[in-house]
Structure 1
Amino acid sequence: MLYFIAIVTPETINQQVLEWKNYMLQQFNCKVALKSPAHITLIPPFQMPDSAQQEMKDHLQSFAAGKESFSIQLKNFAAFKPRVIYVNVLPNDPLKELRTQLETTLLKSRRFPVKKEDRPFHPHVTIANRDLTKEDFPQAWQHFQSIAYEATFTADAISLLRHNGKIWEIVASFPILSSYSSEVH
């Protein structure tokens, strides 16, 4: 089965992103982005047998428990021209560090079929991707360039998502301890 690991946005942000995804469906017949909740991908999709799921959950649980929550800022929109439009994630060192550490620990374990990502990490929240045509891109991009958007949320969990054949479902989320709750009293 296909899995990926992400930070899923809070429901208020997910609902706003869903409105934009539905706009893309109505205006440009873009459906692909509707198949997952609003999220920032940490580890892109990989094939893994369901029999390895519990081991992955255990690994993510212990990884997340050793991290501290942090703030993520979303501001306006950007694009990977000519096919992808997304909510822009402002530069964020804790997010980059979390992703690097997660990739490193999964690769080092050699128990999971995760590959080293060659492309630079470019965190984003997708509105439309591979089913946005090159012909429709300029009009869609013009629409999103005219919208001002800002939101901030706390990254307080890492989620494992699994493709069920139709959509991506959250299998489990693993809390990132906030700095004050990780202290022993």
Structure 2
Amino acid sequence: MPQKQHPLYFIAIIPTSSVREELQGLKELFRDKYSSKASLNSPPHITLHMPFKFSDKKKERMLKSLTNVAAHQERFEVELKNFSAFTPRVIYADIVENEALKELQRSIVEMCRVDLKLLNANYKNQAYHPHITLAFRDLKKPAFAEAWKEFENKKYNARFLVNSFSLLKHDGSKWSVDTEFSIA
């Protein structure tokens, strides 16, 4: 009998509805105008912990640990300002430097290392760079160049209160919220 694969999860902040809808509209613009639809496989979000596989048998422990992190976190505001890019494929809404956001991310990474024994918290050991991806891996280089001309000087500003973070689960084709954790 084939061995069952562990589900794939990641941890993220999902913006409040009005900001989420604006960002979703921008993702759809990238799909319609620049043929980049991969970002539509997840809701607009700020990643706190990159995707990881985790056993369903141990999920209760993960949920308790994430609930504990949320219980010790205070609400804070996030400001999105303009756009930036990871050349040659990624365009994103940029986030104004935010110590509370960095602290939440550090708390989650530490909890995942200590409680869950996850060791893949950083992508290729790069520093945490919070952002909200609008277009990425399927954005072809010529389309990136054209889109970046449109977005590099475009003004954008939004703010939202972070009063929760979410555990997202992949269903084989897209990501959706599995569990939301309220911040006190």
TM (norm. structure 1) is 0.91
Q: Within 2, Cα distance between the matches of 1:37 and 1:140?
A: 21
Q: Moved runs in structure 1, 4+ residues, more than 4 A? A: none
1:149-168 alignment runs, 5 A limit: 149-168=156-175
Number of aligned positions between the proteins: 176
Pairing 1:53–2:59 present: yes
The amino acid that maps onto 1:132 is: L
Unaligned runs of 5+ in 1: 178-185
1:140-155 alignment runs, 5 A limit: 140-155=147-162
Q: In structure 2, which of residues 2, 20, 25 is the aligned counterpart of residue 19 of structure 1? A: 25
Q: Within 1, Cα distance between the matches of 2:135 and 2:57?
A: 32
Q: In structure 2, which of residues 115, 127, 137 is the aligned counterpart of residue 130 of structure 1? A: 137
C-alpha RMSD of matched pairs (Å): 1.2
Q: Residue by residue, what CA displacement relative to the aligned partner does 1:100-125 show, whole Å, maximum 9, x if unpaired?
A: 1211122012x343424111000000
Any conservation in 2 of the 1:47–1:113 contact (CA below 8 Å)?
no
User: Which residue pairs with 1:97 in the alignment?
Assistant: 103
Distance 1:6 1:114, change over 3 A: farther
Q: In structure 2, which of residues 127, 140, 143 is the aligned counterpart of residue 120 of structure 1? A: 127
Pairing 1:174–2:181 present: yes
Identity within the alignment, %: 36
Q: Residue by residue, what CA displacement relative to the aligned partner does 1:22-63 show, whole Å, maximum 9, x if unpaired?
A: 111112221110011111000000111223222211111111
Any conservation in 2 of the 1:21–1:128 contact (CA below 8 Å)?
yes
Unaligned runs of 5+ in 2: 1-6
Give how far 1:98 is off: 1.1
The amino acid that maps onto 1:175 is: S
TM (norm. structure 2) is 0.91
